[in-house]
Amino acid sequence: MSTEKPVIGLLGIGEMGGNMARELTGTGFRVVSVLKGRSAESVARAKEARIEDSADLKSLVAACDILFSVLPPSVAEEEARTVAECLRDVPKPLVFVEGNAISPVLVREIADLFDGTPVTFVDGGIIGQPPKDGKVPRLYLSGPGSAALDVFNGPAFEIVHLGDTIGDASGFKMVYASQTKGHNALLTAGFVAAERMGLLEAFVAELKYSQPGFLSKAETNIPRLPADAGRWVREMEEIRDTYEALGLTGGFHEGAAAMMRLLANSPFGHETRRTRDTSRGMIETVKALAPQAANENVRLKN
């Protein structure tokens, strides 16, 4: 790899990828991605972050030194497979960072796709909000080549190394998200259940009295969830798979996936973090979800 700053290739230009790119280009890195076929919002985000456009994936792979995958988990394996095929056509040294919210089992399967290629495979788990205003998320890394990612430390992430075992960083992400996003799913379910029984006002009053922290979290987080829930369905399923591979029940997060699906299919499911209605509160969100929950339950039974 060059002694100059490595060129960063980016798979995925969501809020995390876009903000990461903005911070990196702001400190002198070149960041390259394929903009063709992206949504108008993603293209706008890429331009704001000064991401350079590449004609196609093969050109992107050829242009970069480090390729960072930060995608919806449902497409992580497919995209990695295509990258591996590109490298077999045009072999070149490359650090591939699997930074998606997927199970350790799946990340090891993805690592196997690069057997026979000159790829240094790094397992990554991102914890926290996209970098902004001087605040950066933590990037947990595992794999023998993870030191190559220390160039990200500071401008885009705070780097934490977990050792040489592929799967450890993804496992850490799964356990962490099982608590944070899993708890948000359970909170949402509780409020929707209370509304379905006509007990929402009493439930809110009791939480205000005895569990103000729970109420505060619900008021802050439930209105935000529809904007992210679509891609979190698969993340909850990946957590389920992680738990089951460890001999634990996956039922908690099978239920969390169902709640994320309900949120994604709600009247607010079209929102993104940029377009969501910030004036809509928790009560309004829950009241819209409650009748939909009944319809969804009937649909699933049939």
Residues 141 and 221 in one domain: no
pTM to 2 decimals? 0.92
Residues 114 and 261 in one domain: no
Residues 241 and 160 in one domain: no
Beta strands in 58-195 (DSSP E): 66-69, 94-98, 119-127, 138-142, 158-161
Phi, psi of 235 (to 5 degrees): -60, -40
Residues 145 and 205 in one domain: no
Average pLDDT over residues 217-244: 97
Q: Which amino acid is at 131?
A: P
User: What pLDDT, in 10s, does the model give residues 23-60?
Assistant: 999 999 999 999 998 989 899 999 999 999 999 999 99
Asked if residue 67 belongs to a domain, the reply is yes
Question: Which domain CATH number covers 275?
Answer: 1.10.1040.10
- Give the list of residues 6+ apart from residue 34 with CB closer than 8 angstroms, or none: 53, 54, 55, 56, 57, 59, 60
Tell which of 131, 165, 199 closes a domain: 165
Secondary structure tally for the chain: helices H, strands E: 11, 8
- Report how far residue 185's alpha carbon sits from residue 176's, in angstroms, rounded to the nearest whole number: 14
Looking at residue 3, what is its pLDDT?
56
Asked if residue 26 belongs to a domain, the reply is yes
Question: What is the domain extent for residue 238?
Answer: 171-301
Asked if residue 181 belongs to a domain, the reply is yes
Residues 144 and 32 in one domain: yes
The sign one gets for the Cα dihedral 91, 95, 100, 101 is positive
Tokens (6 digits) for 274: 């940029």
Residues 77 and 50 in one domain: yes
- Report how far residue 90's alpha carbon sits from residue 250's, in angstroms, rounded to the nearest whole number: 41
Residues 13 and 113 in one domain: yes
Asked if residue 27 belongs to a domain, the reply is yes
Asked if residue 195 belongs to a domain, the reply is yes
Asked if residue 2 belongs to a domain, the reply is no
- Report how far residue 61's alpha carbon sits from residue 54's, in angstroms, rounded to the nearest whole number: 9
Residues 193 and 113 in one domain: no
Neighbours of 41 (CB within 10 A): 16
Residues 258 and 191 in one domain: yes
State how beta strands 138-142 and 119-127 pair.
Answer: antiparallel
- Report how far residue 130's alpha carbon sits from residue 291's, in angstroms, rounded to the nearest whole number: 33
Tokens (6 digits) for 116: 């026979």
User: What pLDDT, in 10s, does the model give residues 49-108?
Assistant: 999 999 999 999 999 999 999 999 999 999 999 999 999 887 889 999 999 999 999 999
Tell which of 165, 189, 224 closes a domain: 165
Tell which of 136, 165, 194 closes a domain: 165
Distance of alpha carbon 60 from its chain centroid, rounded? 22
Residues 149 and 185 in one domain: no
Least confidently predicted of 1-5, 62-66, 91-95, 292-296? 1-5
Q: Which amino acid is at 162?
A: L
Residues paired with residue 96 on neighbouring β-strands, in sequence order? 67, 121
Asked if residue 71 belongs to a domain, the reply is yes
Asked if residue 136 belongs to a domain, the reply is yes
Residues 93 and 197 in one domain: no
Report the domain count for the chain: 2
Residues 224 and 130 in one domain: no
- Report how far residue 61's alpha carbon sits from residue 67's, in angstroms, rounded to the nearest whole number: 7
- Report how far residue 178's alpha carbon sits from residue 102's, in angstroms, rounded to the nearest whole number: 12
Question: Which domain CATH number covers 86?
Answer: 3.40.50.720
In which residue are the tokens 């009295």 written? 209
